[in-house]
Amino acid sequence: MSEFINFYFIPGVVLGSIYALGAIGITLTFGILRFANFAHGESMTLGVYFAWSMVQFSGLHPLVVMPAAMLATVIVVLGIDRVFYKPLREASVVMLVIASFGLMLMVRSVIQFTWGVQLKTVLPGIQMPYVIGDILRIAPKHVMIVAGALLLMYAVHYLLTYTKIGKAMRAMSDSAELARLTGIDTEKVVMATWIIGAALACAAGVFLAIDTQVETRMGFKLLLPMFAAAILGGVGRPYGALAGGLIIGLAEELSSYPWVGNEPLLNPGYKAGVAFAIMVGMLIWRPSGLFRGKVF
Amino acid sequence: MKLFKKLVIAVPALAFLAGVAQAGDVKVGSAGGVTGPIAELVAAIMKGRQLAADHINADGGLLRGDMLKLVIADSACDPKAAVDAGNKLVNVEQVVAIVGPSCSGATNGMVSSVTIPAGVTVLSDSATAPSISDLKDNDTVFRASASDAYQGAAIAALVYKAGLRRVAMTYSNDDYNAGIANVFEREFSKMGGTITANQAHEPNKASYRSEMATLSQGGPEALALFAYYGSSGITIIKNSLENGLFDKFYAADGMFDVSVIQQIGADNLRDRLWITQAASDTGDMSYQRFADTYKSAGGNPEAPYAAHGYDVTFLMAMAIEKAGSADRNKISAALREVASPPGEVIRPNQWKRAKQLINAGRDVNYQGAAGVNDFDANGDVTGLFSLNTVGPDGKWSRTMLK
Amino acid sequence: MEQLYGYGLYAISLFTMGGIYAVLTLGLNVQWGFAGLFNVGIAGFFGIGAYATAILTTAASQRHLGGYEMPYAVGFLAAMALSGVIAYAVGKVCLRLRSDYLAIATIGIAEIFRLILKNETWATNGPRGVSEVPKPFETLPEPWNHISFLLLVLAIVAIVYVLVEVARKSPWGRVMTAIRENETAAKAAGKNVEAFRMEGFVIGCMIMALAGALMAHYLKFVDPNVTEPLLATFLVWVMLIVGGSANNKGAILGAFLMWIVWSMTEILTGRLPDELAIRAAYVRIFLIGLALQIFLQKFPQGILPEKRPAAQGKSADRGVVGEP
């Protein structure tokens, strides 16, 4: 039992929190700007590299420089929106998806060009876990990651529920036409969406980098699980993305638990496919997702 | 349609421009997966190749003072890209020979589709797949890195000699690591050891805790870890140590990199990690000659296959010198001569001496930074291996493996 | 002289690869240009075709399933059939949803397919791939082997082009356009929208598999890396957008043009000093992405815009296919 919790459940929760943070950005762009942003993983990678540079420069803990890295990511993402997405806003949605697909590769090649492809780390060394009652083993960084993710999610919740712009975003997500009629400034909402998405993507990336390492393809590796989490939770539903992220993270880890006999239930080589399988199942049985999101 | 017309004019013009090379250059193709899944390893390899070219050009160049020019082409670790790269090197650049590509798959595609029909000699620094040995290549395909068969067996012997009989193993599911793991499993079982569990893992996952937990079942004494340090190796060692799942790791040269120590910490790895790496039989001398210059060129010599990159370029240059002209057809035979005994031993960065001896008609035998290069009938090297552990000073310490 | 002969051989290889990409792009055009289906899992169906023919036509090996040594035609047909069946299953799940979902689902399928190729070692030799795939005409002397293979590829491009062009002009093709432009109206006119979409998707995937099969024989080798999305999915999209979606001639032109640009830019970057030459490899990817963005914004119709068969009144001024 202790093994189940320590090596399957806790890593699943940690991974799930990271997925959830990333998926919130995807679900918001999907819901409000109405397109699947394939470049979202790359915002994440970019944020990590900003954080890495700042850690190198200042010698501070990655969590300390994270706000600055988030700011830098937000600025770049807003710039990308201005140059590449805005001119296409009036065209069809699919043009935006194609553009984001191209941007995914463009941003990645800029990262590879600027920072090189060598592996980097933001937090070297290993951390021995806290051992609680001889059974539970929790690494300090995992406490940090989950706590940080919860904090950020609460901030998003607060923003969406109590602020004017948050309410506007929700209105826009429910019905763009209606929102426009009631005099909501669409461009402002679009900006807010990018800001939240980029900031959370950066945070998710930094958390992942703290848990593992920094490399140029890390964002793309998370893209599919994040999409899966967003669809599972219901498009346009931030709470859904939260639940979806956790479920996907847990499912990936638990799929290789030896539920029957001594062999892993699923060959770990297929772990990456679990998220996708769940997503396809969801598309078949309930495309609106757990939280009754939108289906376009 | 206008654009198309312009293109029709532009293509030959471009091709013409491309063909204008500086007189006095001897061009050798340098194919590598500059982009793609192992880009981080290839950067170090390319640096090794360029360093060798710099040494040669500083010490008098090739033939009658011609400069050795490495023409870089991106094989992207993808056979499609490699075939395209090979075509450009062979037909447009008219290279004398090619060093690289880095990945086995890219090498396989490029040599089968391009260089074997064209009769161009290829010397790869890091393609290790056994299937390359079987190709009907008219003796034009060589490799400076030992086929997986040798290193897998070397690690198996190492583990067995350390007195370990029950070992769990995991490998990153890519062409390189899957191959070594396969041989290790066979050889270790043959010696009488037990593999308690054997699992492939997908690289680049954030956590391998569950995999390690499963592998630690059944009382293994150590973990045989076949992975690249970057895409999964470091994460696996971290996860295992943090959770007390394994404390002994045996690994192949894909794990040999200074960032392993940097990221995990020397104290955490001392007496816990053993890594084999191809090496020269004359102890450290050849390697040291390479490592010193590579370091002063701003590189980190402890990167997988950086030394091989140096060796293939140096060897190819010696072969061209031996052939006496930039004639493609003579390279293969010349390469065999300069790489194996008999002959006076040449080490890295001894170009002046090599050139002198070759021009005097004497036999030479290159002993590279990454090992002897006595090619067998398939153009493979058998390879001797060194054992690398973390020394008291927190750096890698090498001993030869007998 | 030797240099000129070299250029000739390079030109042959350029057009061979360009031709294989033209087949791929025609397949995508059936899906996107005709039916408005947004498939970003091209690499997956391409890979299915490549592996199917590689396993069927290659001589026996202990490393992977096979040893059937079937004729090439069998390999090609099997590749298309297998891809068609898988496409049908995928279509059943995804086609009822909006194109974004299809995009996410297809990119996921391509990744899953890669996992299968890597893990089912008994059949595919895992990450090590299938080597010594036979190549048509390879026993002919140089350069006739290359020329013959090029002619084969061009012949297939021509056949596929004629077939899709006939389809486009047929009533079937017009219904497709109608569905793409206004699904509700098409439904109201009594057309079975789902069935038409499914046909477009399956046919497109079969053409992609044919391209994959050609590629396997051309490379004489396949491994999971041939399904890397950059060259097998993204570049194909760029080709179609640049050439002109919904126009088959545009698809072919875009494929040759972009492949030539992609391949030849490296000849230039390869001349840079070494450190720069390595970094320039990333710049190349960036520039292709930028070309796509410029076309999307400034020339959304591509070089050869869509021509409606027997269009009534003004023809497409809406640019690339729109959402209803």
Partner B, chain C 242-281, Cβ-Cβ below 8 Å:
253, 257, 260, 263-264, 266-268, 270-271, 274, 277-278, 281
- Kindly report which listed range (B166-170, B286-290, C218-222) carries the lowest average pLDDT score: B286-290
Q: Suggest the residue from B74, B133, B186 to mutate for an interface test with chain C (most C CBs closer than 10 A).
A: B74
Residues facing residue B278 across a β-bridge = B385
- pLDDT of res. C309: 59
Task: Report chain B's mean pLDDT, rounded to a whole number.
Answer: 83
- pLDDT of res. A65: 92
> How far does the CA of residue B195 sit from the closest CA of chain C (Å)?
19
How far is Cα B242 from Cα C225, in angstroms, rounded to an integer? Answer: 33
Instruction: Give the residue among C34, C76, C41 at the shortest CA–CA distance from C251.
Output: C34
Residues 6+ apart with CB under 8 A from A168: A179, A184, A185, A188, A189, A192
Residue C310, SS3?
A: coil
**Do you know the residue count of chain B?**
402
Helices and strands per DSSP (H, E), number in chain A: 12, 2
> Which value does ipTM take for this structure?
0.87
What is the interface size between A and C, counted as CB pairs within 8 Å? 125
Residues facing residue B389 across a β-bridge = B397
How far is Cα A49 from Cα A46, in angstroms, rounded to an integer? Answer: 5
Per-residue pLDDT tens for B290-336? 888 888 888 887 788 888 889 899 999 989 988 888 888 888 888 88
pLDDT band at A138 (very low <50, low <70, confident <90, very high): confident
How far is Cα C45 from Cα C110, in angstroms, rounded to an integer? Answer: 7
Residue B70, SS3?
A: strand
> How far does the CA of residue C238 sit from the closest CA of chain B (Å)?
16
Indicate if the pLDDT at residue B20 is higher than 60.
Answer: no
Cβ separation of A273 and C290 shorter than 8 Å?
no
So what CATH class is B25-147+292-372?
alpha beta
Indicate if the pLDDT at residue B4 is higher than 50.
Answer: no
Name the residue facing C270 among B73, B76, B90 (closest C-beta).
B73
Q: Suggest the residue from C95, C122, C296 to mutate for an interface test with chain A (most A CBs closer than 10 A).
A: C296
Q: What is the mean pLDDT of residues B54-68?
A: 86
Q: What is the mean pLDDT of residues A149-165?
A: 91
C42, C232 contact by CB (below 8 A): yes
Contacting subunits of C (3+ beta carbon pairs below 8 A): A, B
B141, B379 contact by CB (below 8 A): yes
Q: What is the mean pLDDT of residues A10-19?
A: 91
Name the residue facing B241 among A126, A211, A215 (closest C-beta).
A126
* One-letter amino acid for residue C47 of the chain: G
Cβ separation of B178 and C127 shorter than 8 Å?
yes
For residue A121, the chain B residue with the least C-alpha distance is: B263
Residue B270, SS3?
A: coil
For residue C293, the chain A residue with the least C-alpha distance is: A99
Contacts of C131 in chain B (CB under 8 A): 108, 112, 131-132, 134-135
B119, B140 contact by CB (below 8 A): yes
B251, B159 contact by CB (below 8 A): no
Instruction: Give the residue among B145, B112, B109, B140 at the shortest CA–CA distance from B126.
Output: B145
- pLDDT of res. B149: 74
B246, B196 contact by CB (below 8 A): no
Per-residue pLDDT tens for B104-156? 889 999 999 999 988 899 999 888 887 888 888 888 898 888 777 788 888 99
8-state DSSP, B277: E
A132 is written with which tokens?
Answer: 């609680």
Cβ separation of B207 and A15 shorter than 8 Å?
yes
Torsion of CA C110, C116, C119, C125, to 10 degrees: -100
Residues of chain B above pLDDT 90, percent = 11
Partner A, chain C 257-276, Cβ-Cβ below 8 Å:
none
- pLDDT of res. A20: 93
Contacts of A35 in chain C (CB under 8 A): 100
pLDDT band at B21 (very low <50, low <70, confident <90, very high): very low
Per-residue pLDDT tens for A212-222? 888 888 888 88
Partner B, chain A 239-268, Cβ-Cβ below 8 Å:
253-254, 256-258, 262, 264, 267-268
Name the residue facing C323 among A93, A105, A112 (closest C-beta).
A93
How far is Cα C67 from Cα C81, in angstroms, rounded to an integer? Answer: 20
∠ CA B169-A141-A50 to the nearest 5 degrees?
100
Same fold, B25-147+292-372 and B148-280+384-401: yes
Cβ separation of C118 and B113 shorter than 8 Å?
no
Instruction: Give the residue among B56, B49, B53 at the shortest CA–CA distance from B350.
Output: B56
For residue A226, the chain C residue with the least C-alpha distance is: C104
Stated as kind and residue range, the H or E segment containing B367 is strand B364-368
Please write down the HEC assignment for all residues of C12-49: HHHHHHHHHHHHHHHHHHHHHHHCCCCCCCHHHHHHHH
What does CATH list as the number for B148-280+384-401? 3.40.50.2300
Q: Which residues of chain C have pLDDT under 50?
A: 311-324
Placement of tokens 């008291």 in the chain: B392
For residue A96, the chain C residue with the least C-alpha distance is: C296
How far is Cα B205 from Cα B209, in angstroms, rounded to an integer? Answer: 10
Contacting subunits of A (3+ beta carbon pairs below 8 A): B, C
Cβ separation of B207 and A117 shorter than 8 Å?
no
Cis peptide, bond prior to residue B12, ω within 30 of zero: no
Per-residue pLDDT tens for A218-276? 888 888 899 999 988 888 888 889 999 999 999 988 888 877 777 777 877 788 888 88
Domain ranges of chain B: 25-147+292-372, 148-280+384-401
- pLDDT of res. C316: 42
- pLDDT of res. C14: 93
A109 is written with which tokens?
Answer: 């090649």
Q: Suggest the residue from A21, A112, A212 to mutate for an interface test with chain B (most B CBs closer than 10 A).
A: A212
For residue B235, the chain A residue with the least C-alpha distance is: A212
Cβ separation of B72 and C303 shorter than 8 Å?
no
How far is Cα B364 from Cα C311, in angstroms, rounded to an integer? Answer: 77
Pick the residue with more confidence: A203 or B370? A203
Cβ separation of B92 and C267 shorter than 8 Å?
yes
A290, A281 contact by CB (below 8 A): no
Contacting subunits of B (3+ beta carbon pairs below 8 A): A, C
Cβ separation of B173 and C281 shorter than 8 Å?
no
Cβ separation of B207 and A126 shorter than 8 Å?
no
Contacts of A38 in chain C (CB under 8 A): 40, 103
Residues facing residue B273 across a β-bridge = B249
Contacts of B99 in chain C (CB under 8 A): none
Contacts of B265 in chain A (CB under 8 A): 124-126
For residue C100, the chain A residue with the least C-alpha distance is: A36
Indicate if the pLDDT at residue B8 is higher than 50.
Answer: no
Cβ separation of A283 and C38 shorter than 8 Å?
no
Name the residue facing A118 among B40, B242, B268 (closest C-beta).
B40
A217 is written with which tokens?
Answer: 């393809």
Name the residue facing A256 among B210, B243, B265 (closest C-beta).
B210
- pLDDT of res. C321: 42
Q: What is the mean pLDDT of residues A79-87?
A: 92
Cβ separation of C257 and B173 shorter than 8 Å?
no
- A271 and B CB contact within 8 Å: yes
Name the residue facing A113 among C103, C108, C279 (closest C-beta).
C279
